[in-house]
Structure 1
């Protein structure tokens, strides 16, 4: 288990250490730790840059959260609800294809490591464009949440749409690749995905249009409206999963 030296994890490590030393619990706890290969790794104090992976994820949402919240004042319950919803958004982002099966359109997300499946949001009315003073308390919280989602998820998708210079070969687009279909008006925590079943190269041989198979049918989209999920080797998948586990254990 990795931690950014948060007090809760330091306290948990100290409690476990004392229990292991006690004779009555030593055998059972030692056996449990051995079975689950539990070891504690703490970053040095005042060294948040050691956790670059999870700190970057937090910073990407925190920037939009601060801008959207502005001068609004929320009650404790409303703030807790808003932060929990933003956390769900971060943990719902697609990472890689969940399986190599061509018919499987689901992507692996951080939520799979937390709950065993992708995180879902309850359908709600879009209140992002309604003035703040015309909304009730719950709707005000949802308005802030929807505004954070629109800003953050578009920024995240842009990081998946890497653009190469003219002197470098274009990104390889092949059949069977899983991609996120970019939709500026998608509701919170909704990541429409599809697998490329056909490419449409131009006269120069470069693919600029693809046909995707989605749960709701087939769609033809330009490559500027899709975000390819990375295809990792077995070693890279193992390394990626380890990093994700480290992120959520901290």
Structure 2
């Protein structure tokens, strides 16, 4: 049923990469058996469009790489945000869908190399062809949960998850090099993710480096950035360079 919901929402995938969980293995066997027993009644086009399952070895979740890491991170923060809250199925589905949007809104790499382009490529572009957005809402950080309505409680969990998860994601992509080294050099024209506090969900502030300020040792620690809100100056420890096409290929 999970696979049917996925195909109904996103379309039929050509390949599915997954671990060796019993539910995935059973789904692969059921689809394969159906196509095998009904091969004559299915058209050639349908048989050629079968879904290929690519399984990692049993008890080896590290073969999943980056997607297993993303699942672990989402579960970690969801468990701590929700705690022992009593929610209905509709409320849980709403929260999970909003969390899904947060994960699919993360910036992956620059959209282009143009210095005037401040857009980044995200998983949302592959799903709906444009960045994922969220409607504006009131912040519930400082509100007592006992005074909130049920919808507002779900919204508070959603905002709390965003605050925790986006900080962790930024920390992962940020280059952790010491200031006195110039190992991960930032160049003028690079698209960077600006680490800002108190930003609403799905709002990733991006900017292009327009100027660097090297210190007496020749290492730059401050940069001027061109953003959609104008020019800002930030320390390099608050900037996360997005990987370019060359970095991804390398």
Q: TM-score, normalised by structure 2?
A: 0.84
Q: What SS class does the counterpart of residue 219 from structure 1 fall into?
A: strand
Distance change (3 Å), C-alpha of 1:195 and 1:130? same
Deviation at residue 10 of structure 1 after TM alignment:
4.6
Deviation at residue 24 of structure 1 after TM alignment:
2.6
Deviation track 1:183-241 (CA, whole Å, cap 9, x = no partner) reads: 1100011001011111122222211111111122111111122111122318x35x9xx
Match of 1:204 in 2: 217
Match of 1:14 in 2: 30
Match of 2:40 in 1: 23
Match of 2:131 in 1: 118
Distance change (3 Å), C-alpha of 1:178 and 1:17? farther
- The CA distance in 1 between the partners of 2:43 and 2:19, in whole Å, is 27
1:155 and 2:155 are equivalent in the alignment: no
- The CA distance in 2 between the partners of 1:10 and 1:171, in whole Å, is 46
Match of 1:193 in 2: 206
1:4 and 2:19 are equivalent in the alignment: yes
Q: Which of 228, 235, 240 is the equivalent residue of 1:222? A: 235
Match of 1:106 in 2: 119
Bigger proportion of residues as helix: 1
Q: Is the 8 A contact 1:132 1:140 kept in 2?
A: yes
- The CA distance in 2 between the partners of 1:138 and 1:116, in whole Å, is 29
Q: TM-score, normalised by structure 1?
A: 0.84
Q: Which of 113, 126, 129 is the equivalent residue of 2:142? A: 129
RMSD after superposition: 2.3
Higher relative contact order (CA 8 A, sep 6+): 1
Match of 1:77 in 2: 90
Q: What SS class does the counterpart of residue 41 from structure 1 fall into?
A: strand
Q: What SS class does the counterpart of residue 40 from structure 1 fall into?
A: strand
Match of 2:106 in 1: 93
Give the length in aligned residue pairs: 233
Distance change (3 Å), C-alpha of 1:98 and 1:54? same
Deviation track 1:153-192 (CA, whole Å, cap 9, x = no partner) reads: 1111112222224785342010110001111100011001
